[in-house]
Amino acid sequence: MEKLTMKNVREVLRLKLDCNLSARKIAQTCGFARSTIGEYISRFNQSGLDWPLPPHLSDGQLAKALFKEPADSQDKGTMARPEPDWQAVYNELRTKGVNLQLLWQEYKLAYPDGYQYAWFCENYTRWHGKRDLVMRQHHLAGEKLFVDFSGTTIPIVDRRTGDISKAEVFVAVMGASNYTFVMALNSQKIEDWILGHVKAFEFLGGCPEIVVPDNLKSGVTKACRYEPQIQSTYAEMASHYGIAIIPTRVRKPKDKAKVEGGVLLVLRWIIAKLRNETFFTLHGANEAIKPLVAALNARPFRKMEGSRLRLFQAIDLPALRPLPETPYEFAQWKTAKVHPDYHVEVEAHYYSVPYTLVGQKLDIRWTLSTVEIFHQNIRVASHLRGILNRRHTTLPEHMPASHQYAEFSPERLLRWAQKYGPATAAMIEKVMQRRQHVQQSYRCAMGILRLSDVYGGDRLEAACRRALLIGTYRYGSIESILKKGLDQQELEPTQDKTLPLHGNVRGPEFFQ
């Protein structure tokens, strides 16, 4: 089973209280036993907390509220409960319209202290003695949307170079009506996978209860029959639209029969019809796809009355949930440890967090415009997205009262540098002078000094001497000099070998 975390608990509560899913469906989504799901819901109901949870409730506070032992908890013993007459249950199930839930409700009316529904179903199945039955799946109106890539691509020709790229074809099929959505995308990467879903929901005009994907890496980070792990961005999108993600089981083709049938129709009636067309843009390909999708959905069924469109309008559309006010904005997530300069790195840019979090592992979410940083599910920092690589975005309120740490400080870095020679000390001083806040230089300065572990102090001193002469003060430049052995080569005769160096540097008080 998946390891218990407060993020798991929050997702279980969301799926139950926002999506109103059964324990069985929540278990399929989260990879927990149904008994565990029931326990989480029961503990929440007894906790006195309101839903939705307060925005400033940390993971630690939530754990304390849910998992403390009741003061009056004691073993009250159990009374024997009557077991249902399974033969009678079997006979009743043969009556049209009768199902296990109805029979369980009648059983509970007769025996209020009797077994719960999950136990009732599991023990009936065990009594019945049948496994892996082949049966036609029954899909409820508005319940499931099946999604996948078709496996066949559409060529896109670059007008300028003549290069050909291959656009992936995203397919989504409603379970009850077979209403179909098709869209060409640049790739199968997570950003395109999410875009396909967003456009599919807009096409439908609402949200289903459940999305059923195959175990594609973009959406499912760990494919497992019992414990599939949903990719973080995909899970966030699901939360935004109030849906549940239930991947198909591994090596169970019947689970995705609906979308496989839709893919086959897309290949025959859309992709095949476009085989002789030449597209120069993705937009052009999608404009050609739209009328073919409309024709597919309007085509009459062969073995029943109506069409996909009419059936969708009659049963699926009224059952769909409304779309949120704004579409989901694509975001990426990662976990990072706070560096001693109280910054975290996101795509080669550094963002500050409160200095008290140095050494902690934080969750980071970023979009095209913003970067948000969370500690135990509480946002501790928010920044506009930086556009320059290897630069820092620092908020003054994140800085300590003093520009010194007990472990990392300008004084310690300069003393460390002076052990290797005046050129190394001058280099570290230059690095610290070039930053708006001295803490921003710690990462680069320590990287330069730690090159001595690989190349030795003498070579580091020589490399710093050469770097100072050519006017570069970057870690990458000094590392390159050492890797290429330039520190061991004679300087050009035209270069002044006398460095304007002296034994006295400004000292740490300069950086206060």
Which pLDDT tens digit goes with each residue over 364-383? Answer: 998 888 899 999 989 999 99
| Residue 498: pLDDT over 60 | no
pLDDT at 198: 95
Task: For domain 144-319, give the CATH superfamily.
Answer: Ribonuclease H-like superfamily/Ribonuclease H (3.30.420.10)
Residue 132 has pLDDT above 50, yes or no: no
- Where does the pLDDT of residue 117 fall: very low under 50, low under 70, confident under 90, or very high at 90 and above? confident
What is the per-residue pLDDT across 31-69, written as a single tens digit (0 to 9) for each?
A: 777 877 888 888 888 888 888 888 888 887 888 888 764
With a cut of 90, say whether residue 264 has pLDDT above it.
no
Q: Which of 151, 148, 141 is nearest to 175 (CA)?
A: 141
Residue 164 has pLDDT above 60, yes or no: yes
141-145, 202-206, 260-264: range with lowest mean pLDDT = 260-264
CB 286 within 8 A of CB 200: no
Domain ranges of the chain: 6-67, 86-128, 144-319, 332-396, 410-511
Asked if 235 contacts 244 with a C-beta cutoff of 8 angstroms, the reply is no
Please, what is the average pLDDT of the chain? 81
Strands 392-393 and 349-352: parallel
Compute the average pLDDT of residues 6-25.
Answer: 86
pLDDT at 112 over 60: yes
pLDDT of residue 185: 93
Mean pLDDT, rounded, for 275-292: 93
Residue 207: pLDDT over 60: yes
For range 245-268, the mean pLDDT: 72
199 CB contacts (<8 Å, ≥6 apart)?
A: 181, 183
Q: What share of the chain has pLDDT > 90, as a percent?
A: 29
Average pLDDT over residues 95-102: 71
Q: Give the residue, 23 or 375, on which the prediction is more confident.
A: 375
CA-nearest of 341, 428, 460 to 392 is 341
pLDDT category of residue 343 using cuts at 50, 70 and 90: very high
User: What are the tokens at 121?
Assistant: 């179903």
> Partners of 171 in the beta sheet?
148, 182
Tell which residue, 60, 63, 161, has the closest CA to residue 378: 60
Q: What is the SS3 assignment for 391?
A: coil
Bigger pLDDT: 220 or 47? Answer: 47
Backbone angles phi, psi at 151, to 5 degrees: 90, -10
Which range, 12-26, 121-135, 247-261, has the best average confidence (pLDDT)?
12-26
- 309 vs 170, 180, 293, 298, 316, CA distance in Å? 19, 9, 11, 6, 10
Task: Say if residues 214 and 247 touch (Cβ distance below 8 Å).
Answer: yes
On whether the CB atoms of residues 246 and 252 are closer than 8 A, the answer is no
- Of 124-133, 371-380, 391-400, least confident by mean pLDDT is 124-133
Residue 410 banded pLDDT, cuts 50, 70, 90: confident
State the pLDDT confidence band at 259, using cuts at 50, 70 and 90.
low
Judge whether residue 232 has pLDDT over 70. Answer: yes
Q: Which residue has the higher pLDDT, 219 or 459?
A: 459
Mean of pLDDT values over 483-490: 85
Token pair belonging to 251: 């090596």
pLDDT at site 33: 77
Asked whether the bond before 52 is cis by omega within 30 degrees of 0, the reply is: yes
By the 8 A CB rule, do 212 and 147 touch? Answer: yes
Contacts of residue 302, Cβ cutoff 8 Å, sequence gap at least 6: none
Whether pLDDT at 294 is above 90: yes
Could you count the other beta carbons within 10 Å of the beta carbon of residue 69?
A: 6
Task: Inform me whether the pLDDT recorded for 71 exceeds 90.
Answer: no
Mean pLDDT calculated for residue range 329-350: 89
